[in-house]
A and B are shown apart, each in its own frame.
Chain A
């Protein structure tokens, strides 16, 4: 792991740059507008509002064993908002080296700064979203209380998995640009192949067996449990995504380390 520490030291020297870039990324979303930073709230607010209004007043899908009229909205948001974090980080980091070709070719700085900026700003954006979601839970009188802390380790496993996979794919994408295109397609399928909009109990047993291979399902299920049932996750179900996460992180580092010298030559 000696490579790792040297790499991190290089990256750490550019912390001011990364932080300014994260700030800039948020600022670009409201600079020149009248309402300013309030616009950051618009997208998550819209999502939560639409889900709540439609699924509590217009359509009323029943949630087994729940009478609260907000039950489905809570279930849906728990899955969609966290899956969005996965989509955002993966979708943006896969093309990051190719899109920053000009910068990478002209200026010498640690390439890893670029995906880190993506991750940090996505996580901050996620924090804003979750704050609104918590607010909604409080209003709906469905806030889980202290059990909410159980979401933190789940989130860490999710981030590890996403970052590892993102780094691996971003590196390969420099050489095979098809990756970027296919990721967009695969993410769509992945969303629908995870019980987020529907509940897993409606699935035939064979589909459930296949879905057990989906490393995101245990994570999403954990969030849904925390927010809807106010129940702690089955920790042992998280072992599989955790191991896969570590595997992708190591593979991502290996691929990046092996190929980073050739990245600029291919851009």
Chain B
């Protein structure tokens, strides 16, 4: 095994104590009985993260994500179970923690760096790299109170990543600062990964998880209810979000090992879905730029107030390339009755890059599936885009250019 386990979490549970009476705790200190009940926020969690792996942690608020991170970083202890962490952790959760407004960026870097366990001599070496990366110029030697919030984030990020950690914890709070710096910081995270840093990424954002992680876990009420491929886990999470009474979530394994997630009340269902070319033939392979038609037949199983069909085209990694629904196109079906059937015909040009794509469908009552979800279906249909007659190109979109080349006489 050349994969080293960087984080080893074995059967941890965490309970907070709740005391019904004020002096119950004091009574316990003196050995007089038990006066608290345990509120369990994490239960029997076990997983390992290997070196260089990047793990996404997903879950609704209160699912236990923060507690899990606190246990991994060591600020709190699990009630039962063991945690072993190999190497230094840097967490981008507390960006700018401990900055004092009256002191300069440089002075703050020293103290904050030392708070994270670095020695003053190490800071001497790192300080110029921090200043270079933050790119805040002369402000580096000005009091932090005159910084813009963007500058503070730049400085804090530069400081937190000055030294490559063995484990880096990132949460979506990172999505601050201007886009230039965001790109720069993601680039640094990517470099760290290549150099072997293990990444823990906490987010609600499925596309970020899918882009950054090679594994994901889903937390729900303190349990890890899903652990696996990011696409599968985020699909499942999405389905859970829509979970309501009478809703079922179903995961089917398709040919080729991909997982289709279906959820919803089932009051309306996609009966049939197909992709057709301009001649009306069902196709699986589509030429770049070809006009195609997506036909979706929907069966209504209950009297409903309204019915909206949404669909999305996703790439191989599960990122949505395009999506819309009949709410946005103002084609909501009012008061469909039980037994009704509708056919939606969606025409569009396949201006997509080469590769495999999937269609996801959603049936709901309004502009999104979060309030009432009749049916949500990932990977409802899979198709491939091939290039038979266009010039060679790369990327996820086909945007045909017109390129003019003119020689310019140099008169100098």
**A residues bordering B, Cβ < 8 Å?**
13-14, 16-17, 20-21, 24, 27-28, 31-32, 102-109, 175-176, 258, 261-262, 264-265
Contact = CB atoms under 8 A, between A and B. Distances in A.
B234 to A, nearest CB: 27
A13 B117 CA distance: 7
A261 B15 CA distance: 12
Contacts of B75: 104-108, 264
B73 interface: yes
14 contacts: A17-B117, A20-B110, A24-B100, A102-B97, A106-B91, A106-B97, A107-B73, A107-B91, A107-B98, A107-B116, A108-B89, A109-B115, A264-B75, A264-B76
A181 to B, nearest CB: 15
Nearest to B94: A106
A243 B98 CA distance: 38
Contact of B115 (A17, A102, A262, A264): A17
Contacts of A31: 102-103
A265 B76 contact: yes
Contacts of A103: 97-98, 115
B146 to A, nearest CB: 12
A9 to B, nearest CB: 13
A20 B111 contact: yes
- Looking at chain A's contact residues, the main secondary structure is helix
Given A103-B98, A264-B76, A14 B103 contact: no
A109 B25 contact: no
Contact of A261 (B77, B94, B114, B118): B77
Interface residues of B, number: 31
Given A27-B103, A109-B117, A176-B26, A17 B111 contact: yes
A28 B97 CA distance: 17
Contacts of B97: 102-103, 106-107
Contacts of B87: none
B190 interface: no
Contacts of B89: 108
B79 to A, nearest CB: 9
A196 B214 CA distance: 69
Given A103-B97, A106-B75, A28 B102 contact: yes
B94 A107 contact: yes
B317 to A, nearest CB: 32
A176 B28 CA distance: 14
Given A31-B103, A265-B76, A20 B25 contact: no
